[in-house]
């Protein structure tokens, strides 16, 4: 089980790294879809959409969470186990639900979206801090790929989900750069 401070540090590191990378790219890299994958801007909007929904989930009253999703009676799953379950599901063909799929994103919105991403992340951390450790481990929310997860597990997911998209984006940007170089020769 990940402790609160570790999750918060990971959330902040992930969002900062992702936003710094997005800040450094030009219009073509921000807007271009490469090999039928999302553009960098779309990756950013996807992460914003996820944080918006997670923030809503963390504001639901505990009695409602209990009524709708029950309480956790199982052993807490580790960060590593959740990450493995998620990656295995993706490799098995799991995809993002339609609500999280971004439309094309214009370069002009880049700075606003970076700020929004950072703000939503801080809001999420604040909401997480509003819950006791017992509440983080007791109450659950649904996840479209992982099923019912505790609030702590959802916070861990938010952390490694951002890192996952950061790594995907670095790879896409490198391949785009290689393709542009190849096209010039």
DSSP designation for 96: -
Q: Is 75 helix (H, G, I), strand (E, B) or coil?
A: coil
Please provide the CATH number assigned to the domain covering 4-184.
Answer: 1.20.120.450
Q: How many residues are there in the chain?
A: 185
pLDDT of residue 121: 98
Q: What is the mean pLDDT of residues 163-178?
A: 90
pLDDT of residue 34: 79
- Using one digit for the tens of pLDDT, what is the confidence trace for 15-74? 999 999 999 999 999 998 878 889 999 999 999 999 999 999 999 999 999 999 999 998
pLDDT of residue 1: 52
HEC per residue, 52-73: HHHHHHHHCCHHHHHHHHCECC
Q: What is the DSSP string of 99-114?
A: GGPPPP--GGGHHHHH
Q: What is the mean pLDDT of residues 100-111?
A: 96
What predicted TM-score, i.e. pTM, was given to this entire model?
Answer: 0.93
- Using one digit for the tens of pLDDT, what is the confidence trace for 118-161? 999 999 999 999 999 999 999 999 999 999 999 999 999 999 99
Alpha-carbon distance of 126 to 118, in angstroms, equals: 12
* Confidence class for position 2, pLDDT limits 50, 70, 90: confident
Alpha-carbon distance of 140 to 158, in angstroms, equals: 15
- Lookup result for tokens 């952390």: 159
pLDDT of residue 36: 84
């Amino acid at each position: 089980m990940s402790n609160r401070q570790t999750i918060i540090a990971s959330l902040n590191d992930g969002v900062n790294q992702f936003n710094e990378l997005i800040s450094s790219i030009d219009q073509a890299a921000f807007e271009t879809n490469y090999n039928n994958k999302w553009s960098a801007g779309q990756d950013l909007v996807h992460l914003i959409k996820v944080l918006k929904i997670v923030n809503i989930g963390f504001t639901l009253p505990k009695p409602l969470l209990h009524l709708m999703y029950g309480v956790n009676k199982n052993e807490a799953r580790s960060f590593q186990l959740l990450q493995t379950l998620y990656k295995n599901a993706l490799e098995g063909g799991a995809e993002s639900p339609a609500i999280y799929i971004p439309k094309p994103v214009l370069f002009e919105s880049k700075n606003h979206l970076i700020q929004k991403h950072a703000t939503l992340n801080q809001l999420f951390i604040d909401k997480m801090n509003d819950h006791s450790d017992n509440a983080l481990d007791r109450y659950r929310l649904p996840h479209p790929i992982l099923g019912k997860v505790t609030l702590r597990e959802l916070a861990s997911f938010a952390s490694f989900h951002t890192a996952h998209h950061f790594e995907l984006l670095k790879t896409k940007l490198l391949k785009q750069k290689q393709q542009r170089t190849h096209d010039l020769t």
